Amino acid sequence: MDGQPRTIIALGLEGSANKLGVGIVKHVYAGGVPADSELRPEVVELANVRDTYNPPAGEGFLPRDVAAHHRATIMPLLKQALAEAGIAPCDLDCICYTKGPGMGAPLQAVALVARTLSQLWGLPLVGVNHCVGHIEMGRAITGADNPVVLYVSGGNTQVIAYSQQTYRIFGETLDIAIGNCLDRFARVLKLPNDPSPGYNIEQYAKRGSRYIELPYTVKGMDVSFSGILSFIEKLAKTEPDKYTPEDLCYSLQETMFAMLVEITERAMAHIGSGEVLVVGGVGCNVRLQEMMGQMAEERGGKVFATDMRYCIDNGIMIAQAGALAFARGFSTPIEDSWITQRFRTDQVHVEWRT
């Protein structure tokens, strides 16, 4: 630490799936950036804007259609974010973008814009792991210190804990992600994609009251959702008069969330943590937060969660993680600014934590 105050303003671009986000964050280090201790800057949100590609009800989204949406929308969103932040490109210190994981075509569309802006504005690039972005934004917003992280989204389901500058995966899905399971069942029921299939399933589940026994698949610290999806799809299609959509949604949520509570509690016991941080789009689900909260309370712990501004994919989470890495001297050369659909959480060197 040189003792000199330092401010980092980072632009974040997120477009790994159907959400396109642009965020701007300011990190203030009043005493300078510490050399040997964990980075804990004052975090100031300057802008966090988002636009969503929504296909018709009962349909999923194709990568090429999502990429076309991102290409058409990103410049207006960028201008909106800069206007809300009240800054010009010359005020930025770095441009952060999602390197992966995610859908190839949307990731590439956003990375191309990030590379172009980097060269036009003469600013360094910072490639960010999507999951690490969720974790760091969750920590910043909630104040969670060293939690077990439950990362639940359309493309990922992981139980994570920090150790030795790595976010280590304790358990994960063996097949499809929980968000993907919810999305696919929403298509079976022809539920709207606006604001999201998972949100609409949650509303149906609130009106359900009859629990239907479904496959419960926990294997050690891992879970599996493909079997429960096949089973409940068959019930919905072959016995529509016997089971209401509301009861099916209620039963699906209760079963899958119980599986997540089980493996999260096991991870808490293993590392001796009393904190759970729930991140990712499915983390917005109030029932999941309730079930996780009950388990944590019984252990004398606490659950930390964010609202839809930060749970759902957004640009400021990419700016947050990128600014922390940038403060430690990390940047991504143009020749290495490719994207990857497979970028595991535990492949990232979390140099800003000790």
Binding residues, as ranges, are 130, 134, 151-155, 183, 198, 202, 285, 313
- In this structure, are residues 284 and 270 in contact, taking their beta carbons and an 8 Å threshold? no
Q: How far apart are CA 322 and CA 203, in angstroms?
A: 35
Q: Hey, CA dihedral for 152, 270, 148, 96, is it positive or negative? A: negative
Residue 111: phi, psi to the nearest 5? Answer: -60, -35
* Feature table: binding site for a divalent metal cation: 130, 134, 151, 313
One-letter amino acid at 98 equals T
* Feature table: binding site for substrate: 151-155, 183, 198, 202, 285
Residue 56 DSSP label: P
- In this structure, are residues 236 and 245 in contact, taking their beta carbons and an 8 Å threshold? yes
Kindly report whether the peptide bond that precedes residue 195 is cis, defined as omega within 30 degrees of 0. yes
E strand map for 61-176 = 94-100, 125-129, 148-152, 157-162, 167-172
